[in-house]
A and B are shown apart, each in its own frame.
Chain A
């Protein structure tokens, strides 16, 4: 068990080290790609093998890292439990497919750049896997930050584009904001519980040995997840992160990194269960995020940004389920969403690769030119909208059931409305891009095999997971029948609205946006969040830094400068003793002699 986990973690790490240090391999882009893909492929194989082993209880293996008096303060190690097994497969699978896809997607990239890309990909795979396998909060935090760093590197991959560089920095600081809370929360938890280790913490939580009043601590820990999983209002970085290459968006900002927040909440759920008030907050924020992001997706014209807002919205779903004390539902939605969102992104990438633009207003009738891509995109869109019998339907239903069962009225209403909006905006994209009567100029060509195969694999998995759900596999599948009807009905209504507006052109989009007046304006203005952050930054951060700069220049430096000025002046004054006239020196000797005589007298 543990050796397999070690292989899963170790292969991408070795690939990264090899690519990082051996510049010739890295500069030969294709060679680097082969190394990286082979490593993550090996990881995938090991992860699948690991997943096939039925796991009774958690398996942990630790190595001491920071020693302390009674027992090591911090350990590093591997922690394997059922959700970990599933997550490992998801991460390695999506990473593998994305890396293979990138081989063709980035074929226009110069070779050293490509090598750099695959080095970062290997590092990311290693970081994400380390996060999943972490047995304690400290290791998780380390890999958490490492994942954030990889995100920065990959978003800003085309670093000569100012927008990409800005987006990378924005992603970094937005998640950093959450991470501040995360770190403080971890330390507070350690103060309360005396350990960072998950096994110890969960045992203590189960045996009610943890002190009360952990609300603040768990809220702070949640903040880290809020930043990483783009909860409102820390979601602002995710749409901008689309400046990175599309495969990166598929991997990091759909399936894996952003899911890390949800994963952490799910993993640490025994601790969150102790603070129901924090859970309620999580649910509310999740539902709000889902709704707000869905409204913003409705007014976006960049296909990747639509998908980005969609990701934010679905992350809100997952968090809402976790907040409704149903971590299983949250995790199942994480898995299904990871697959079909990656599918959607990769398909969008194929479209962009073929058409050369991200703007859906410049697309149309692509189904004819790109039938494969169109087909898989449709599968993804249906899954996202929650249409039976695809995987998305079952996981979304589980989420809604959980929120309803937890008696969270308004969040439930928000999530229900979001279901409608999700179907609407998704099929808006479908109709505008793939159907319609005007096509783009040029000759769009369908995806080459290397790009198509990952798409098909993901589509097949989406359908397969759905089939498993449909065949009544899940024991906890007891949604009230009216709920099933409601969610399907809303999905249908959303698709219908999109059809009517964008395909049959019976309703004009302009009239629709006028009718929804204030909401439309707010959504287009992104609810003023970016402006708010900017104002806060200018006001607080810059103001504080100016103040501190003043203190540094005038007080700290001032002290040093004053000392040095005095020293110089003292030196100048003292130098006058050296008159150069020997008589003065003799005078000094005589004076000294006199003083010595006096001193010897006085010092009896």
Chain B
């Protein structure tokens, strides 16, 4: 198929995930968008690994998956903690950083 096809596919998924991060109001929804972005990145890595005959790409993808899992765990834990305190997970209401 050619490398560019896979890269384009990954870019499309990445863009979709970015759109989701930017527009979702539910905090969990935002995290889902982040998941998509990371996923797309993984596709990129594996594609490059295959087409350049480099094992490093696969190693990187593996690491990414592992780290993503950790990040999701903690991220959702934080969301739950926020929910306990503020009774909401609406991202528009979480503006403590407001300056």
Contacts and interface: CB of A to CB of B under 8 A. Distances in A.
A343 to B, nearest CB: 83
Contact of A580 (B24, B30, B99): B99
Interface string A583-604: 1001100100000000000000
B58 interface: no
B93 to A, nearest CB: 9
Contacts of B99: 575, 578, 580
A588 to B, nearest CB: 10
Interface residues of A, number: 10
B98 interface: yes
A390 B92 CA distance: 107
A590 B91 contact: no
A578 B92 CA distance: 13
Nearest to A583: B91
Interface in A551-604: 575, 578-583, 586-587, 590
B97 A578 contact: yes
The A interface, classified by DSSP as helix, strand, loop or mixed, is: helix
Contacts of A581: 91-92, 94-95, 97
Contacts of A583: 21-22, 24, 30, 91
B96 interface: yes
Counting contact residues on chain B (CB < 8 A from A), the size range is 10 to 19
A582 B18 contact: no
Contact of A590 (B22, B24, B94, B98): B22
Interface in B47-99: 91-92, 94-99
B91 A579 contact: no
B75 to A, nearest CB: 11
Contacts of A582: 91, 94, 97
Nearest to A587: B22
A598 to B, nearest CB: 15
Nearest to A585: B97
A582 B99 CA distance: 12
Nearest to B91: A583
B98 A579 contact: yes
A582 B97 CA distance: 8
Interface string A284-314: 0000000000000000000000000000000
Per CB-CB distance, the 8 closest pairs between chain A and chain B, nearest first, are A580-B98, A580-B95, A578-B99, A580-B97, A581-B95, A587-B22, A583-B91, A586-B21
21 contacts: A575-B99, A578-B98, A578-B99, A579-B97, A579-B98, A580-B95, A580-B96, A580-B97, A580-B98, A581-B92, A581-B94, A581-B95, A582-B91, A582-B94, A582-B97, A583-B21, A583-B22, A583-B30, A583-B91, A586-B22, A590-B18
Given A581-B92, A581-B97, A587-B22, 10 more contacts: A578-B97, A578-B98, A580-B96, A580-B99, A582-B97, A583-B21, A583-B22, A583-B91, A586-B21, A590-B18
